[in-house]
Amino acid sequence: MNDLDNIINGLRENGIEFLNDEPLSLYTSIKIGGKCDIIIFPKDEDELLFVAGLLRNNSKDYLIVGFGTNTLFRDEGVSFPVISFKKGFQFIKEINSSEEELEGNTANSKIALEVGSGVALSRVLNYAVKNCLSGCEFFFGIPGTLGGALRMNAGSKERVVSNIVESVEIITGEGAKLNIKKEDLLFSYRNMDIKGVEEGYFITAATLALIKSDKSKILENINIFKERKLRQPLGEYSLGCIFRNPAGNAAGKIIEEIGFKGFSKGDAVVSDKHANFIINKGGASAKDILELIKNIQKNALLQKGVELSTEIKIV
């Protein structure tokens, strides 16, 4: 079931922004992908609740995207609706939940931030620095939105998003608005599930627990992550790390050891700065990327006996 006409009519009648026959390459950080039949841009919870109902009645499948920083869209595109948070859920606000916090606002006092799922991590970090809040320094150089970072439990080897999340606001595929406390958020390596909630839910916001700190200390912490990012191909069209790190090893190290650093297929190139990144030099196709991935996986198994699994989402 995928009644595109019903979806379009419903969106038009309610003034909800959408585009038809849109290239998905415009909605992913690697700039690759075929077209989608329709992409929808809900601006707030009311519009999203309506969209959820419209999809429930008219489409079996749909896909949610933020900045598309870990999603490779195939060259054939997709025939189901895509929902983009690019134009909505962009708020950041402080929450004081106790008298101590209201009186506090001193060094080491806890500050809760409610952040919309469409907010870029770089913007959250900038807000934190400006307001002397520590805890999210590891956001530096991570290109996605908060919603995407939650779904991927994004972060570094020291800290991940799950370390600072207190709760998550969602709208389920059935249209229920829920506040999910941390104890019901099931975080694992590059993944988040919600206890008792099926897939197809929309993350609308999260509450982050940060700490009041000295700005100079926060900037020192950021510099640690900044130095690491210099070893990655920042500014290039990529999806970040392609493969999950095997237990006790690093995917980039394995790829370099099997001779694939700098290897290319058309305009798809394994980065010579960090071998776990595949770069689109401008004209790469999804097919080129997928062939490189399969080639690396095959050789990692043959030469090292290691099965490399992808960290990115392939649609």
Number of residues that this document lists for the chain: 315
| Spatial CB neighbours of 113, under 8 Å, sequence gap ≥ 6 | 92, 93, 94, 95, 124, 127, 128, 133, 207, 208, 210
CB 89 within 8 A of CB 205: yes
Reading the block at residue 202, the tokens are 């929309």
Q: Is the dihedral of CA 47, 50, 54, 56 positive or negative?
A: positive
The reply to whether 220 belongs to the active site is: no
Give DSSP secondary structure letters for 34-83.
-EEEEEE---SHHHHHHHHHHHHHHBS--EEESS-TTEE--TT-BSS-EE
CA distance 14 to 11: 5
Distance CA 233, CA 231 (A): 7
Place of tokens 């399969």: 294
How far is residue 305's CA from residue 170's CA, in Å, rounded to a whole number?
41
Which pair of tokens denotes residue 304? Answer: 């090292």
Instruction: Please say if 56 is a catalytic residue.
Output: no
Q: Which of 190, 228, 244, 256 is catalytic?
A: 190
Q: Which of 36, 132, 136, 241 is catalytic?
A: 241
Residue 123 annotated to the active site: no
Active site residues: 190, 241, 311
